[in-house]
Structure 1
Amino acid sequence: MKRLSLIDTCFLKMESPDTPMHVGALLTFRLPPKIGRQYLSQLVARLRSYPVSRSPFNHVLAQGPLAAIAPYWETDQHVDLDYHLRHSALPKPGGQRELGVLISRLHSHPLDLSRPPWECHIIEGLEHNRFAIYLKGHHAAVDGLGGLKLIKSWLSEKPDALNQPPPWAMPLPTSVRPPAPGPFAAAQQRLTGLRAQLRAVPEVYRSLVRARLEYPNGSLPALLKAPSSLLNGRIGGQRRFATQALKLSRLKRIAEQTHTTTNDVLLAVCGGALRRYLSELDALPRSSLVSLVPIALRPRRNQVGGNSLCGLLTDLETQIADPVERLHAINVSTQAGKRHIQQLSPTALAQYSLLLMAPLTLAKVSGLSGSLPPLFNVLISNVPAARNKLYFDGAELEGIFPLSVLFRGQALNITALGYAESFTLSFTACRDALPRVQKLAIYAGEALDELERALGIADIETAERRVVSINDAPRVRERLANPTDGA
């Protein structure tokens, strides 16, 4: 038995048909050379032969009155792998549109919470000799960082590594399986935890008071700062998915020249793209859009399941037209936020995170998400994946594209991920609320171009940008002229 943390429980309680609380990852691979036509069929058959023996893949939500009050995971000894592992094929030509449509639909479907909350889809038929794997799991079971950590441990840096077990069958390190405490020790642990939570309450209060001077976005008045916008109306359950791939070296070069960080550059690029997108729709607020930027807390050793996150409320400075001025203003805000949370103890940070999530949970429970002012306008995450190329059964991993959750009153989520030399932006949006999301992906690439031109460092790399990067570079110009996204 493993109890859900308060943050995990919040994600569970926010589950609804309009806001399915699962995260996902699309992994695209290039088929190994000199393989038979049955490579993928044989791969799927081999994956099905492994038992589901690892958490969180064999964890299911417990049922009963106690679990309804304090949810907890229990081990499912008979996981139906035929349900969780699925094999499908794209219709011809197997290009970016077909894959985008399929992933948008798969990510729109809620998970069955009477089963272990995860799915794995093997997708063949991609053009240019490729295939894809789409994984999704409930946010109450794993956060994005933990999921990517699991993917890294599953794949290999060796191109010749073969017969790798699937993630649900990989052995857990022995250090994460300590003996279960006895009843007295368990009660003592809970009492110690309760005392720590009570001691942290005054610390959180003092930090909120101090924030009015040190970090205005972290103070209580700032919780009502975000303007109403097109991004914050009522949402439905259907999703759109669009991507943009950039070279990580471009962001690093801007950060070095401006004495900022790559995350600041990311936020400035997103701010520029949103400013242009909303301006074209005559829907740009006069005051700056506010982003919630998740910050990974230091997890327990070898932690995979659960969530270890805090959040910074950061102005995207969308009211500023000059891209360099916007970047420096964002840097001031993010640095103040980092200094502020670094002064808090881990327990106080957890309470601060719950304070940020409380309005989201309240909006779900009350059904007033369309009437309450937004806590923030958009959630933007930056997740590191791997510096080196990764492989699965001899197939090279070409790209990782994360898909995230949408909260009530939040029609857009942007997740950035660094892999090898690439830096991908994934846009998960409500199909009913935001039109032509692919324009946002294109505008993000052009916002980076604009930053480089303003700093005098634009070069030939800007011509190598790949829009909807699940496709190959030769078709970029055609897609720029005729942008599409997952329908």
Structure 2
Amino acid sequence: MSERLRPRDVAFLEHEDPTVPRHVATVEVFDPGASGFDYDGFVALILDRISFVPRYRQRVQEVPGHLANPVWVDDDHFDIGYHVRRSALPRPGSTEQLRELVSRIVSRPLDRARPLWEIYFVEGLADGRVALLYKTHQALVDGVETVDLGQVLLDKDPGVKVLGGDEWHPHRRPSPAGLLAGALHDNLTDRATALDTVRHAVGTAVGTADRLTAGAGRVLSGLAGRRPDRGHALSGELSQQRRVVGVDSALADYRTIRDVHGGTINDVILATVTGALRAWLMTRAESMGGLRQVQAMVPVSVIDRELEATSLGSQIAPHFVTLPIGEPSPVVRLHQVSYSFQAHKETGRAVAANRLAGIAGFAPTTFHAIGARVAAAEVRRDFQISITNVPGPQSPLYAAGARMLRTYPIHPLLPGQALAIGVTSYDGQVFYGINSDRDLVPDVDVLGQCVTEALAELLDTATGGRPTIPRGRRKKAAPKP
């Protein structure tokens, strides 16, 4: 029997539109070295490992009359060449060219008629390097039944491992009559399915009414000669296009700051983002209306039996943080961010960063996917930006013998929010992926530079000989992450 989509997965599909595509992306850069890593070898690697994530060969099938939630069915026309695409930059491809290519690709929604993922194999980078761009729909990866494909493609050593993927044969596509019979059976015998069907119908009606109201408002604004609301630097009416920026930094710098000022690596990263937002906003001409704080939603890993279990050994919960962008002192900003996480640490539910980093495979791709789902579920809450930081392994990983050098998580924008930031630590480095609306944030490259400068500002307070603790404040022992 085909598995039925859960209400949250259906919501991701129903709330998607051209201005708010609902996929999570990741950019990974590899050094092929002597491995001979090429497109054909990468396709062979995926075919060898895809059996570990069977939903990557399934698509969404609607039920006639919407008598129940859609179901996952095998794609009997599954085409690996469609999902794994070959692209190239003019040699030697620059970082700016790769960024522009990635920005165009992540702007496009996925095809609902096929399995909800794509990977681009990008050649032509300088020094013979290649990049992989993953796009995965939020409805696909839930961390319970399905992890991200990127988690099963990487190995801890450069030796090429052939795991012997299964010889796949798709199940027969269910007929409309079979889908109807299954829907009626589930509604009559499974109370949860019946409730989901009712919620789906109500949600569809409400969503249609909201879209009609919003559309009418845009039409009336156009007739009146008014431009769409472009909001301020962090919010506004989204366009269909995105800009993406990646930032590299050294993990050792964050550890130095933590060891001097206390807190955790996560605290230092959020303080760096706070300083970057502050500096970036100060470069902009428009007024922020006296805004001195930014409300951020930061998914955190917890142990909580009341939350949805995941296959990764922990649950992901929303945590709301006030980023003090009006505070001029970088050290005070760090202490304020640390304080906001203190209550979470004291609950005893927090999961240590080194435990997350030790999960088999490159689990950050799955954690980022779940974090994006958590952020989307909290969209009605009063926050202005989502920031997801996931620790990864501190030793190199390989795909078919090619060493992964960099990884940048790219989170989807939420309705009305102009920015989303993902952070991953890996092999002694910390990588930021900043996704932005192309019209609302045309200067996102400035924000990327501000991240580098904000980290340098914090590092200078730890190594430059200036006082590291505000007057009257006692230094606490620095806990390990």
Q: Same fold (TM over 0.5)?
A: yes
| Equivalenced residues, count | 387
2:238 alignment partner in structure 1 = 235
**1:412 is matched by which residue type in structure 2?**
L
Relative to structure 1, is the Cα distance of residues 96 and 165 closer, same or farther in structure 2, using a 3 angstrom cutoff?
farther
Cα distance change on mapping 1:63 and 1:333 into 2, 3 Å: same
Partner of 1:124: 123
State which of 320, 323, 330 in structure 1 corresponds to 2:327.
320
1:74 shift after superposition: 2.8
For residues 354 and 151 of structure 1, what CA distance do their matches in structure 2 show?
A: 17
Task: Pick one of 265, 272, 277 that aligns with 2:275.
Answer: 272
- 1:110: how far off? 0.5
8 Å Cα contact 1:289-1:315 kept in structure 2: yes
1:441 maps onto 2:460 in alignment: no
Instruction: Give the AA of the match of 2:74.
Output: T
Q: Which of 278, 292, 295 pairs up with 1:290?
A: 295
The Cα shift of 1:156 comes to 0.8
Q: What are structure 2's unaligned runs of at least 5 residues?
A: 169-184, 197-230, 351-371, 466-481
Kept in 1: contact 2:143–2:311 (CA 8 A): no
| Runs (5+) with no aligned partner, structure 1 | 170-182, 195-227, 344-352, 362-373, 459-487
* 3-state DSSP of counterpart to 2:424: strand
Distance (whole Å) between structure 1 residues aligned to residue 34 and residue 191 of structure 2: 54
Please point out which of 353, 376, 379 is paired with 1:360.
379
* 1:257-298 residue CA offsets vs partner (Å, 9 max, x unmatched): 222111111111111111111111144443301111112355
Paired amino acid for 1:116:
P
Shift of 1:456: 3.2
**TM-aligned CA distance change 1:148 to 1:451, over 3 Å:** farther
What percent of counterpart residues are identical?
A: 29
> 1:52–1:168: 8 Å Cα contact kept in structure 2?
no
Q: Any idea what the Cα deviations from partners look like across 1:400-435, whole Å, max 9, x if unmatched?
A: 111110011111001000111111011011101102
| Contact 1:234–1:409 (8 Å) recurs in 2 | yes
| Change in 2 beyond 3 A, CA 1:443/1:60 | same
Deviation at 1:143, TM superposition (A): 5.7
Q: Tell me, yes or no, if the aligned pair for 2:317 and 2:374 is still in contact at 8 Å.
A: no
Paired residue type of 1:273:
A
Residue 101 (structure 1) aligns with: 100
Mapped partners of 2:334, 2:378: distance in 1: 29
Q: Specify which of 380, 403, 424 is matched with residue 387 of structure 2.
A: 380
Deviation at 1:455? 2.9
**Residues in 2 aligned to 1:433 and 1:168: alpha-carbon distance in whole angstroms:** 48
After alignment, is 76-85 or 321-330 more displaced? 76-85
User: Which amino acid in 1 is paired with 2:459?
Assistant: E
Question: Which SS does the other structure have where 1:435 is aligned?
Answer: coil
Q: Which residue of 2 aligns with 1:64?
A: 63
**Aligned residue in 2 for 1:2:** 3
Secondary structure in 2 matching 1:57: helix
Relative to structure 1, the CA distance from residue 425 to residue 146 in structure 2 (aligned partners, 3 Å threshold; closer, same or farther) is farther
Tell me what 2:336 maps to.
329
What is the CA deviation profile of residues 216-248 of structure 1, one whole-angstrom value per residue up to 9, with x for unaligned ones?
xxxxxxxxxxxx742111111211111111111
Which residue is equivalent to 2:83? 84
What per-residue deviation string (whole Å, max 9, x for no partner) do you get for residues 116-135 of structure 1? 10001111111112111111
Q: From 435, 440, 461, give the equivalent of 1:454.
A: 461
Query: Measured at CA, do residues 308 and 20 of structure 1 come closer, stay the same or move farther in structure 2, by a change above 3 Å?
Result: farther
* In structure 2, distance between residues paired with 1:152 and 1:357: 22
Cα distance 1:378–1:261, how it changes in 2: closer, same or farther (>3 A)?
A: same
Q: 1:146 to 1:297 in 2, by over 3 A?
A: farther
Distance (Å, rounded) in 1 between the aligned partners of 2:345 and 2:103:
34
Write out per-residue CA displacement over residues 25-49 of structure 1, whole angstroms, 9 at most, x where no aligned residue.
Answer: 11111012274xxx52542563586
In structure 2, relative to structure 1, the CA distance for the partners of 1:34 and 1:270 (3 Å cut) is closer
Distance 1:86 1:358, change over 3 A: closer
Q: Supply the distance in 1 between the matched residues of 2:5 and 2:294 (Cα, whole angstroms).
A: 33
CA 1:168–1:2: 2 relative to 1, 3 Å: farther
Contact 2:256–2:459 at 8 Å: present in 1 too?
no
Counterpart of 1:407? 414
Specify whether residues 279 and 51 from structure 1 end up closer, same or farther in structure 2 by C-alpha distance, changes over 3 A only: closer
Shift of 1:382: 0.3
Amino acid at match of 1:103: V
SS at match of 2:379: helix
Q: CA distance change for structure 1 residues 311 and 137 in 2, over 3 Å: closer, same or farther?
A: same
TM-fit CA distance, 1:330: 1.2
Supply the distance in 2 between the matched residues of 1:116 and 1:355 (Cα, whole angstroms): 22
Cα distance in 2, alignment partners of residues 310 and 336 from structure 1: 14
Alpha-carbon distance in 1 for matches of 2:238, 2:137: 19
Query: Match of 1:453, as an amino acid?
Result: D
Show CA shifts across 1:308-342 (max 9, x none). Answer: 53211110101111011111111112223555795
Q: What residue number does 2:41 align with? A: 43
Contact 2:250 2:429 in 1 (8 A): yes
Measured in 2, the distance between the counterparts of 1:74 and 1:150 equals 18
Q: Which amino acid aligns with 1:4?
A: L
| Worse-superposed segment, 279-288 or 120-129 | 279-288
Change (3 A) 1:427 1:45: closer
Residue 262 of structure 2 corresponds to 259
Partner of 2:427: 420
Q: Map of 1:200-211 to 2, 5 A cutoff? A: none
Residues 231, 410 of structure 1: 8 Å contact kept: yes
Please tell me whether residue 14 in structure 1 is matched to residue 15 in structure 2: yes
